[in-house]
Structure 1
Amino acid sequence: MPLVDMPLEQLKQYQGRNPRPADFDAYWERALGELAMVDTQLELIPSTFQTPQAECFDLYFTGVRGARIHAKYLRSRAVSTPQPAVLQFHGYTGDAGEWQDKLAYVSLGFSVLALDCRGQGGLSEDTGGVKGNTHNGHIIRGLDDHPDNLLFRHIYLDTVRLAQIALELPGVDPERVYAMGGSQGGALTIACAALEPRVKKAATTYPFLCDYKRVWEMDLAKDAYHELSIYFRKFDPLHEREDEVFEKLGYIDLQYLASRIQGEVLFITGLMDTICPPSTQFAAYNKITAPKQLVVYPDFGHEYLPGGGDRTMQFFLGE
């Protein structure tokens, strides 16, 4: 079959190219410590969208750096016993989606919490405040500032706070809090499950934000990763800081958070993906030490994967 990356057997052994910062673990412990000091200021506002089966809320909370973060929250009106909850994360630049597309899970007795990533297409705030480039893209936002100011650090922490809220909601079974998403949403699923180990199951589909240097070396700094090319062209045209740049990106490289996951993982990918190359995804998959299932679509890229949504639902249902 045609290949856009390594053969599958090599992918299953690949360990990544992007450097791991020496203080990576301390970095994330410091980040979680900052989050712990933030007053959540949780607010639930009944939505104008309601159904006889689902109670729907606009959920707001305060994340790090004072940003007010929005999520859509739905729960079943019919279930009185503690329910499972699923956290949903969207693709890059998108939003939490429509209310109606979450009702299938609500009909099965799940609560659903769908995040709007800060500064993207939904209602969440991006408080900014970084030095240097804000020309294009969230991967490189804060790259010329202290590593603690990388924007994706804050977004990863927003997923943690959403999980913590879900774990404490009345009517949610804290032993059945799950996470899911594709592309950026798949990346945030990994981040959430890694940084909040009480997430019991994580279903990630072709995750973004892994192994940045491999993306660069494959000449695939385009599409979702185009901002890497923009950064070097605008801010380091001679690549004098290339090693520094990729090491700093290592703080938000999900391959190095993946080993923290304790819950069960369903990992779905396509081998023809030129948006998030398979090797970059396997750099994360191969570091997951928790129970995991791999589902491979040999002929598919970064696109609709037939049966993937059904498999994810069955995974959460325990089937």
Structure 2
Amino acid sequence: MHLDLPIEELKRYQGINPKPSDFDQYWSEALAELNALSLDYEVVEADFRVEGMTLYHLTFTGIGGMKVHTKWAKPHQPTGQAVVMFHGYGVDSGDWLDKVAYAKEGIHVFAMDCRGQGGLSEDTIVTIGPTVRGHIIRGLKDKDPKNLYYRAVFLDTAQLIKIMQSMKDIDPNRIGSYGQSQGGALALAVASLVPEIKKTYSVYPFLSDYKRAWEMDVTNSAYEELSFYFRNVDPLHQFEEETFLKLGYIDLRHLAPRIQSDVIMVTGMRDNVCPPSTQFAVFNHLITKKTHRLYPEHGHEHIPHHADEAFQFFKLL
């Protein structure tokens, strides 16, 4: 029994969420706004000690003046390589342990807290409409799509890369991006906005093909807030077309063709949280060197051996 479309259909699937006509202009203007920001940042040494590296809390100012927090594992004998890590939905940048393994190899690691989720990054953005039950819907009621929550988060990821590229012992062309679920989405998003990123490892990415996710068992998936939004804000679906068109600005499948990094994507074929079709919609739009690891028996859960593969992948940055 298929959770989603049959595999041969998935390999051809292109997605159904609409793309705004001014999509490219939207992101060009967003990046121009980002370029006006200072690359200044503050660091405070962490109270965690590991031989061969120094661990820091790094804070920078993102779009809208928000303070964005990042963990930084700085190796004492750097190779010039760096990896940026992004976390899953609603949590934070995690413990130091997985960062330490990379830093032991001379690789800088940066792990960003998304605004207003489980970590230390601020979120004082003012939007119209709901502020509960999820971040996909933040800003959907605003007339201006620039107020979408994930526009700001995507730009935070790009700002962090720019800061990393400005550091003297990091080669700006030897940076990789890595994450799972929301983190997998951000690993792809930042690669689409910063073409110098060399390698991307994305595990069951979120934030794509919203209309397809809504048409499936949406109330039991990571996209359940779409149902909440329609039930409470637009119960007659009078603005359904407008809603999904606006979500198109933050749809990864529309950003995917911009990615130039080598990509490994991991998909559990029984994933009912981020359905496989929403992930294939992204993978099938990638026009760079790409590999898709398919796990027939796994869902949105721990995927065996993927972290080891990612580690080896990034060692060759």
Scaled to the shorter chain, the TM-score interval is over 0.9
- How far apart, CA to CA, are the structure 2 residues paired with 1:318 and 1:166? 18
Q: Is residue 266–residue 315 contact of structure 1 (8 Å, CA) maintained in 2?
A: no
Aligned AA for 1:217? E
Residue number in structure 2 paired with 1:298: 296
Structure 2 residue 174 is matched with structure 1 residue 176: yes
Give the one of 195, 199, 203 matched to 1:205. 203
Gaps of 5+ in 2: none
CA shift at 1:83, angstroms? 2.3
TM-score (norm 2): 0.97
CA shift at 1:218, angstroms? 1.2
Residues 11-30 of structure 1 aligned to structure 2 (within 5 Å): 11-30=10-29
RMSD between superposed Cα atoms in Å = 1.2
CA shift at 1:34, angstroms? 1.1
Aligned AA for 1:19? P
Give the one of 82, 85, 96 matched to 1:88. 85
Residues 211-222 of structure 1 aligned to structure 2 (within 5 Å): 211-222=209-220
Gaps of 5+ in 1: none
CA shift at 1:6, angstroms? 1.1
TM-score (norm 1): 0.96
Residue number in structure 1 paired with 2:62: 63
Structure 2 residue 100 is matched with structure 1 residue 100: no
Q: Is residue 208–residue 253 contact of structure 2 (8 Å, CA) maintained in 1?
A: yes
- How far apart, CA to CA, are the structure 2 residues paired with 1:118 and 1:225? 18
Residue number in structure 2 paired with 1:154: 152
Structure 1 counterpart SS, 2:197? coil
CA shift at 1:276, angstroms? 0.3
Alignment size in residue pairs: 316
Structure 2 residue 128 is matched with structure 1 residue 131: yes
Aligned identity (percent) is 49
- How far apart, CA to CA, are the structure 2 residues paired with 1:268 and 1:94? 20
CA shift at 1:101, angstroms? 2.5
Q: What are the superposed Cα offsets for residues 187-214 of structure 1, whole Å, 9 maximum, x if unpaired?
A: 0001000001111000001000000000
Structure 2 counterpart SS, 1:203? strand
Q: Is residue 47–residue 58 contact of structure 1 (8 Å, CA) maintained in 2?
A: yes
